[in-house]
């Protein structure tokens, strides 16, 4: 949870977000989907309901930040952030479905998919950070 929170704040800081209304608007589809999936699941242990709820909120915020950035900012790093967002949300969705709805299947079906999504999403995040920092350096050099 801490890692995902720091990740969201770092993305907001790198993109220099000043208007949070688009993020709030883009957050609603994600929060609706993940809340619905959480509400229809029966096999959640009582102690893990609130951590799952918090993770759903954090992933929804991440999806909202990525989606609003896709429509509001057009830079060279926007595709990398979009790829990271889609893969991260896909990874969380896969893990959520595996742990909550398909917990009777062996984990050998979803482990390779999870590993591929994890590695490729954080490679896209790495490329996003490198491109954004170089763009920010160039824009500050042009201002001077």
The two tokens of residue 8 are: 């969201």
pTM: 0.84
Distance CA 99, CA 14 (A): 33
Digit-by-digit pLDDT tens for the chain (144 residues) are 898 999 989 988 888 888 888 889 989 999 999 888 888 887 777 787 888 889 999 999 999 999 888 888 777 677 888 999 999 999 988 888 887 777 777 767 788 888 999 999 999 999 999 988 888 777 776 665
Burial class (CB in 10 A: 0-12, 13-18, 19+), 102: middle
Domain ranges of the chain: 2-137
The two tokens of residue 131 are: 């491109």
Distance CA 70, CA 59 (A): 16
């Amino acid at each position: 949870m801490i890692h995902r929170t720091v990740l969201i704040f770092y993305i907001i800081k790198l993109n220099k977000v000043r208007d949070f209304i688009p993020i709030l608007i883009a957050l609603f589809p994600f929060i609706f989907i993940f809340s619905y999936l959480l509400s229809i699941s029966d096999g959640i242990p009582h102690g893990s309901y609130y951590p799952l709820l918090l993770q759903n909120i954090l992933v929804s915020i991440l999806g909202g930040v990525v989606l609003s950035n896709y429509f509001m900012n057009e830079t060279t790093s926007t595709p990398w952030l979009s790829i990271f967002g889609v893969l991260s949300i896909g990874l969380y969705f896969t893990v959520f479905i595996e742990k909550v709805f398909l917990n009777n299947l062996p984990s050998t079906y979803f482990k390779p998919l999870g590993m591929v999504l994890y590695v490729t999403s954080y490679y896209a995040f790495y490329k996003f950070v490198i491109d954004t920092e170089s763009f920010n350096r160039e824009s500050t050099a042009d201002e001077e």
